[in-house]
A and B are shown apart, each in its own frame.
Chain A
């Protein structure tokens, strides 16, 4: 079983749609969680951290479910510019290392 699993997609959605991605992690002791965004042929960039109580940043909402060991990312009112690969990232032990999921590809169509 992979340490961090994501549906690779692609998720094809029309502009204005709401789309949600889930990610599961295997280490129940994992300490911190993030979503990164990677555009084609570019470096990953931090989108948002994921807090235990859930957090929102504009059209983006992240949720953490420790009991079921999954993280979600909800994007409302999708824009063409949201098209990218979204990486689920876990810090398994509060140390220096991160574990990256394989990414979920989102394509927003006009």
Chain B
């Protein structure tokens, strides 16, 4: 069966510090991968998605970036965090051959102080 992992689970970082969040998927090949952010009490905002290694599409211009160095690894990064980057970061995967159902990892809760 497929599983999706994210780490760290929680993170407290100062403004201006760098960020690296990691997501890995097991049990499937060539998944579509997604990064979302959910601010407190708000809906899901799609940040990036990827249909293959090295292929990244950005949905929202901001100080975050994403990379997919391996088929089942998706990384979210920032060189300098802003206060507004605080939120719940969720990674998700879907099958490229399905109807689009996405499955989410446990998320990383980021607080920027």
In the complex, the answer to whether B42 meets A98 with C-beta atoms within 8 Å is: no
Given the known A-B contacts A96-B51, A103-B43, are A43 and B100 also in contact in the complex, defined by CB atoms under 8 Å?
A: no
* Number of A-B residue pairs having CB atoms within 8 Å of each other in the complex: 46
Residues of B within 8 A of A101 (CB): 43
Given the known A-B contacts A41-B109, A43-B90, are A49 and B100 also in contact in the complex, defined by CB atoms under 8 Å?
A: no
| Interface mask (B90-112 → A, CB under 8 Å = 1, otherwise 0) | 10001010011111111101000
Residues of A within 8 A of B42 (CB): 102
Residues of A within 8 A of B107 (CB): 42-43
Bound form: Cα–Cα A97–B96 in Å: 11
Q: Is B86 an interface residue (CB 8 A)?
A: no
A interface, over-half SS: loop
List chain A positions with a Cβ less than 8 A from chain B: 31-32, 34, 41-46, 49, 87, 91, 94-98, 100-103
With A49-B99, A97-B49, A100-B43 known, 11 other A-B pairs at CB within 8 A are A31-B99, A41-B88, A42-B107, A43-B90, A44-B44, A45-B104, A91-B99, A96-B32, A96-B51, A96-B94, A98-B102
List chain B positions with a Cβ less than 8 A from chain A: 32, 42-44, 46, 49, 51, 88, 90, 94, 96, 99-107, 109
Name the 4 nearest CB pairs between A and B, nearest first.
A43-B104, A91-B100, A102-B43, A32-B99
